[in-house]
């Protein structure tokens, strides 16, 4: 058999005749002309083609991830990245819940405890977590003593109030001056969009350069200072008389939740943050007892 196959791999270019016939000799013999060199080149070309096709499938198809192991490394990298993103989302959600809890406590007059331990994500206890034991953390606001319970209501802290401190408190907080309308706008800018309750624009938009100082329209306490999806960096101030002023799309916030602010105090730097914005401007809202007011009617020279 070896000698037979060796004839086909002979380097000579001579022509050979191959006779094919059955053992019993009943059928007519069949003859074929064969050149060993050409047969060897044909087989070599076929093997090269198969090798080239295999290499192409490995390089240009998803098989390379299985054979070369590149897919495993990328999947591990993506898994690590997704794990980091999930951790960041959990931390962000925990902070958002903490801010909501603080805001709710400030609005309802309930005790505010910034040392509350975060509850498991997605649980109802996340909004009412018990304070953890350990060293007392740094106060979130420098004016935290003004919020010690029982705290005075806004109605009791207007100017000229002679009310004494309620039982259990050591001293009465400084009074809040009532807003004296009309007031100066929070920034000096160009009015680009006015108040329109029909379209849901409960504010005025004032176009200003990015980084312009935003000032509080009056005395009050910061009840919100955080990032919002639509309004970017937003800050809200509770004033006497049931008024709440809101400042959105800021570049930077200068006050924190719970801080006491005076009239014309710098509370933020204007910007262009948030999803719903068309350029650097301040979106200002004014609310009283839960109802939106047209700020233009309360400003001087607007």
**What's the longest Cα–Cα distance across the chain?**
132
Please give the pLDDT value at position 130: 43
Quote the pLDDT of residue 151: 63
- pLDDT at res. 131: 46
Task: Name the band, by pLDDT with cuts 50, 70 and 90, for residue 21.
Answer: confident
234: which strand partners?
Answer: 226
Is pLDDT larger for residue 71 or for residue 90?
Answer: 90
Tokens 């719970």, located at residue: 258
Distance CA 284, CA 249 (A): 9
CA dist., res. 145 & res. 161, Å (int): 19
Query: Domain spanning 145-302: which superfamily?
Result: Glucose Permease (Domain IIA) (2.70.70.10)
CA-to-CA dists, residue 70 to 53, 58, 83, 289, angstroms: 20, 12, 20, 62
Q: Which residue has the higher pLDDT, 80 or 117?
A: 80
CA atoms of 206 and 183, how far apart (whole Å): 15
CA separation for the pair 82, 201 (Å, rounded) = 38
Q: Is 168 left (phi over 0), alpha (psi -120 to 50) or beta?
A: left
The number of angstroms, rounded, from the C-alpha of 93 to the middle of its chain's C-alpha atoms is 10
Q: Are 224 and 191 in contact (CB under 8 A)?
A: no
Residue 173 pLDDT class (50, 70, 90 cuts)? very low
Q: Strand 260-261 to strand 291-293: parallel, antiparallel, or no bridges (unpaired)?
A: unpaired
Three-state SS for the chain is CHHHHHHHCCCCCCCEEEEECCCCCCCCCEEEEECHHHHHHHHHHHHHHHHHHHHHHHHHCCHHHHHCCHHHHHHHHHHHHHHHHHHHHHHHHHHHHHHHHHHHHHHHCCCCCCCECCCCCCCHHHHCCCECCCCCCCCCCCCHHHHCCCCCCHHHHECCCCCCCCCCCCCCCCCECCCCCCECCCCCCEEEECCECCCCECCEEEECCCCCEEECCCCEEEEEEEEECCCEEEEEEECHHHEEEEEEEEEEECCCCCCEECCCCEEEEEECCCCCCCCCEEEEEEEECCEEECHHHHECCC
Domain ranges across the chain: 2-19+30-60, 145-302
Pick from 249, 240, 181: nearest CA to 211: 249
Quickly count: other Cβ atoms within 10 Å of residue 260's Cβ.
20
Count of C-beta atoms within a 10 Å radius of residue 163: 13
Give the model's pLDDT for residue 74: 75
Q: What is the pLDDT of residues 180-196, one digit of tens each?
A: 999 999 999 999 999 99
Reported as a single tens digit per residue, the pLDDT across 240-291 is 999 999 999 999 999 999 999 999 999 999 999 999 888 999 999 999 999 9
- What does the mean pLDDT of the chain come to? 78
Q: Which two tokens stand for residue 67?
A: 């054979």
- pLDDT, one tens digit per residue, over 204-254 is 999 999 999 999 999 999 999 999 999 999 999 999 999 999 999 999 999
């Amino acid at each position: 058999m070896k000698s037979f196959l060796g004839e086909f791999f002979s380097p000579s270019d001579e022509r050979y005749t191959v006779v094919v016939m059955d053992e019993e000799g009943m059928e007519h013999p069949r003859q074929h002309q064969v050149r060993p060199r050409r047969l060897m080149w044909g087989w070599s070309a076929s093997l090269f083609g198969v090798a080239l096709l295999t290499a192409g499938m490995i390089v240009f198809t998803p098989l390379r991830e299985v054979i070369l192991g590149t897919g495993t490394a990328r999947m591990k990298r993506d898994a690590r990245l997704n794990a980091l993103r999930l951790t960041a989302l959990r931390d962000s959600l925990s902070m958002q819940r903490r801010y909501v809890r603080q805001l709710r406590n400030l609005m309802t007059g309930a005790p505010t405890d910034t040392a509350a331990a975060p509850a498991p994500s997605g649980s109802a206890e996340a909004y009412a977590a018990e304070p953890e034991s350990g060293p007392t953390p740094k106060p979130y606001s420098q004016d935290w003593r003004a919020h010690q319970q029982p705290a005075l209501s806004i109605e009791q802290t207007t100017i000229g109030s002679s009310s004494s401190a309620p039982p259990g408190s050591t001293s009465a907080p400084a009074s809040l001056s009532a807003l004296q309308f009309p007031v100066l706008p929070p920034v000096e800018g160009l009015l680009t969009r006015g108040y329109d309750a029909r379209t849901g624009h409960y504010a005025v938009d004032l176009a200003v350069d990015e980084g312009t100082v935003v000032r509080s329209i009056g005395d009050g306490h910061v009840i919100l200072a955080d990032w919002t999806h639509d309004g970017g960096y937003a800050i809200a101030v509770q004033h006497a008389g049931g008024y709440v002023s809101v400042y959105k799309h800021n570049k930077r916030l200068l006050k924190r939740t719970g801080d006491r602010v005076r009239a014309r105090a710098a509370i933020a730097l204007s910007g262009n943050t948030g999803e719903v914005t068309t350029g650097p401007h301040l979106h200002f809202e004014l609310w009283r007892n839960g109802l939106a007011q047209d700020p233009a009617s309360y400003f001087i020279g607007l």
